[in-house]
Every structure is written in structure tokens, then in C-alpha cells.
Structure 1
């Protein structure tokens, strides 16, 4: 499984639109292992969605994002775990150890228990990403791999 963190400097960017770097991680038996980085395309969210899909990214972990960005990513086949913040290394370690439930400690304020801004828009939050991963029959605990 290939996971991407949308980052600004050493942290997950508070807003996807302010991210400057895409850090890629491959799920290994011992957790997430860094496997590259790329700049965020300057041409917008559609280019970002295309880049992630073309790279084989299955899950994007990011901060806040617009409904349009979320829709574009999902239409490209990229599951999204939004409204996450914190040091990129800490977030990657938490996800690598426990999957999506491990991100609970890194939820941005106002997003506890799935009550995020996206819910008002009918988008949900944590549950949508988990559902998308389950639909792909991936084990979010870390036993799936990406070739």
C-alpha cells in the first residue's frame, strides 16, 4: 500500500491547498517506510489528484480540504484521511502502527468523533476513508502491500 502525506515543512499541512511537499510511504510489516517525495503540483487540485493516482497512491493523509478537492481525489481513486495534523514523522508512525484508528490522536480541532466540517457537507471524515479502504479489500492494519 502506498500512502502519501501532504506536508508543509516537517508537518502535515493544516490545509491541503497550502502543502508544498508530498511525502510517500510504503506499508511494510514493521510500519510505514519512506519511499520518496515530490513537490505539490502548482496547477491545482485536479493535477494533484492525477499525480497521486498515477503514482499508485491509495491513501492521502492531509489536513483540511475543500469539498471540491475531496471529490476530485475520490474520483481519481485516492482514499482520503482528512483533518489530520501534526509532525509528519509522528503521523506516519501512528498510521503505520495502527492504521486509520492510529490517526485519532492527530485529528484537528473540531473533528473529534467524526464531527468535522465535511460532515455538514455530507462528506463525513474518518468513516469515509475507512470505508474506501475496506471497499478495496485492504487491511488498514498494515498487512497489505503495494507492488
Structure 2
């Protein structure tokens, strides 16, 4: 099935995923180019490794969505969950001390908002991609459920 044959909600949701993950790829690439391997030196080593790993995981998630792979939304959800946890770990004390720091249009706020979009849409999008786009095809009728 081609993308044009899929329901509008599937195409729009996939487009938001792709744009979000490509933006993340660009951001992590920028940080690596400008800060080198120590770009995330403010974070604990596991978080630094995660943030560097996102340079590979973000475009992989975008590519899997573009290719309409049902595993793409699941990878996207795992990546966003890990990204939010890592960013919250690093920024939590600042947010608690200066709550308005969370309201900046860069950093934790857009990452959190994107995660709030990705996490609840990942399973419906996966089902839609697995069924060719028709989410109702994945839900058994009451007669079939018995």
C-alpha cells in the first residue's frame, strides 16, 4: 500500500514523527559538531551515551516510519521515552528551582511535547501500518471476539 492510500490521520501522524525525529537528528548532529564528544559533558555518562546514540536512533526511527515499517512507531516510543527520561534527569533540579526554565521553546519543553504526542500514538500507528492503514481492520468484531 502506498502512503497516498493510507488514511489522513496515518499520513499526518507519520509526518509529525518524521519531522520530529529529523529535527532531533539535526540537533544532536549540531551538538556533536560544535561540542565534540564532550558536547554533553554536563550529564552523567549513561545519559551522554544515550544522547550520542540518538544521532543514530532518531534517523533510524524516521526511516522506519518513512518505509512504513510497523516497528517504527515502537522504536519511536522507546527512543522518546528514553530521551525524556535522560533530559528530565539532567534538567530536573533547574526546573524545580526555576520552573519558568521549562517554558523555553528549546530543550525540555519541545522534547516533552513531542513525547506526549509519540507515546499515545505509537500503538495505533503501528497497528495501522501493520494493517495497511485501516485501524478498524485490527479490531475484531464482537462476533469474532467470542
Query: What is the TM-score with the length of structure 2 in the denominator?
Result: 0.29
Greater Rg, structure 1 or structure 2? 2
* TM-score, length-scaled by structure 1: 0.29
Q: Decide which structure has greater helix share.
A: 2
